[in-house]
Each structure stands twice: as C-alpha cells, then as structure tokens.
C-alpha cells in the first residue's frame, strides 16, 4: 500500500455535508426554542424558520440518497464488525494516550468501522424518525379527526424530540472528535478541499494516474 493525497470527497458530497450542517444547526436552534429551552427568537418566526430549514434539509437528503445509490457510494456506509472494538477502544482510551488510530482510510472505505455504524444508524433509524414525525407534525390539521389524534400527536412530538436529541448528541460528539488526533484543521480540511491522505494499492494508484490524474496530489511515505 502507498499513501497518497487523493480527492475522495466530490463537490456534491461536500456541498451536501455543509448544507446539512447549516440546516441541522438552524433546526436545533429553532426547535429547542419552540420547546422552551431558550427565548432568543419569537414563536412565529421560529416556526417559519424551522419549517423552511426542515424542507430544505429534506430536499437535500432526497438528492443525497439518489446520489449515494447511483454512484455506489452507499457501500461506504455499510457497517462491518472487523475493527469495531478496536476503534471504540481508541476513542475511549487510546486517543488520550497519543496512540495512532487503528484504522487508516483506504480507497473504497473512507469511514472507519465505528463511523460507518454510526452513520448507518443515523440514516436508517434516526433520520427517518425525524422525517416521518416532522411531516406528520407539520400536516396534523390534515389527518387529525378525533380525540385519539391528540394522543397520536403526543407520541409524534416525543418521537421527533427524541430524534432531535440524538442528532444533537451526534453533532456534539462529531465536533469533539474533530479536535482529537492530528488536530481540528487536518480533520476539516478534506471536507473543504475534497482531498485526503489514504492508502492505495499499486493497482489503484496506477488506475488513478492513468484515468483520473486530477484526483491525485503528492505522495506520502
């Protein structure tokens, strides 16, 4: 294997990531305001901003899902058990002792096993929960018919809130992990430029040099 700086994050993936980040921050800020955590924004504008951000994010997720499956990138998010415990140990213990991560990025696997499992759970469980409950919440007046609808709304609201807290916990953990290891800038830079240092087999390196030379930068020892 050789270490090369390779463009692993295409423009759409970076745009999707940063748009998603902005929308999630807006949704968390307005959502917690609507639930009484703060009063920095009046109720009416908070509802409007929350709804607009939610619809924008939903549109981004629809396009992203289409892109994941048409490009085959969805394979990056399939969990694997191999190396999972080692990564959990590294984040819980090894990182504080200055140990090197037990996983190095490879051409067809950008995410370590713990990242892949986390993203998979978000995309398959948490995000659908917040989508579905949010849309039901938004269209309550269209389907509410009797007294039982009030109890249904109570369940929907709490599912939505629980999913929001899970996403908030993920955001906090995600930002924290960007500060460990080789530093915040080295973790964020690839999602800005698209280039990251990964391991390539000689065959992969030869293929990229021949067919996609623009994706390769310097050689790393």
* Whole-Å CA distances, 155 to 58, 70, 122, 162, 192: 21, 35, 20, 11, 39
Decide if 82 is inside a domain.
yes
Decide if 85 is inside a domain.
yes
For residue 216, list its beta bridge partners. 6
| Cβ-proximal residues to 37 (8 Å cutoff; 6+ apart), any chain | none
Query: What's this model's pTM, rounded to 2 decimal places?
Result: 0.85
CA distance 192 to 163: 28
Confidence of residue 221 (pLDDT cuts 50, 70, 90): very low
pLDDT digits (tens, 9 = 90+) for 24-62: 999 999 999 999 899 899 999 999 999 999 999 999 999
pLDDT digits (tens, 9 = 90+) for 56-105: 999 999 999 999 899 888 888 888 888 889 988 888 888 888 788 888 77
Decide if 149 is inside a domain.
yes
Decide if 41 is inside a domain.
yes
pLDDT at 185: 81
* Whole-Å CA distances, 148 to 129, 137, 141, 142, 143: 21, 15, 13, 14, 11
* The total number of structural domains that make up the chain: 1
For residue 201, list its beta bridge partners. none
Decide if 127 is inside a domain.
yes
Average pLDDT over residues 104-116: 83
| Both structure tokens of 123 | 């995309």
> Could you tell me the CATH number of the domain that includes residue 124?
1.20.950
Structural domain harbouring 193: 2-215
Query: What are the backbone dihedrals phi and psi of residue 93, each rounded to the nearest 5 degrees, phi first?
Result: -140, -55
CA distance 138 to 172: 27
Decide if 221 is inside a domain.
no
Percent of the chain with pLDDT over 90: 45
Least confident of 18-22, 191-195, 213-217: 213-217
Decide if 197 is inside a domain.
yes
Summary mean pLDDT of the chain? 88
| Both structure tokens of 150 | 């009030």
């Amino acid at each position: 294997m050789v270490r090369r700086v390779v463009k692993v994050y295409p423009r759409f993936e970076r745009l999707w990531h940063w748009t998603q980040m902005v929308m999630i921050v807006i949704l968390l800020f307005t959502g917690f305001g609507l639930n009484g955590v703060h009063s920095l924004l009046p109720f009416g504008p908070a509802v409007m901003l929350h709804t607009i951000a939610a619809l924008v994010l939903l549109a981004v997720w629809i396009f992203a899902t289409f892109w994941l499956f048409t490009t085959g990138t969805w394979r990056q998010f399939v969990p694997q058990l191999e190396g999972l415990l080692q990564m959990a140990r590294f984040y819980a213990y090894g990182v504080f002792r200055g140990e090197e991560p037990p996983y190095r990025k490879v051409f067809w696997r950008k995410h370590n096993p713990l990242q892949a499992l986390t993203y998979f759970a978000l995309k398959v469980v948490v995000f659908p929960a917040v989508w579905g409950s949010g849309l039901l919440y938004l269209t309550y007046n269209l389907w509410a018919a009797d007294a039982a609808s009030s109890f249904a709304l109570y369940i929907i609201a709490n599912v939505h809130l629980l999913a929001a807290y899970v996403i908030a916990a993920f955001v906090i953990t995600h930002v924290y992990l960007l500060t460990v290891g080789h530093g915040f800038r080295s973790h964020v830079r690839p999602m800005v430029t698209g280039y990251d240092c990964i391991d390539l087999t000689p065959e992969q390196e030869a293929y990229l040099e021949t067919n996609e030379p623009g994706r390769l930068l310097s050689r790393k020892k």
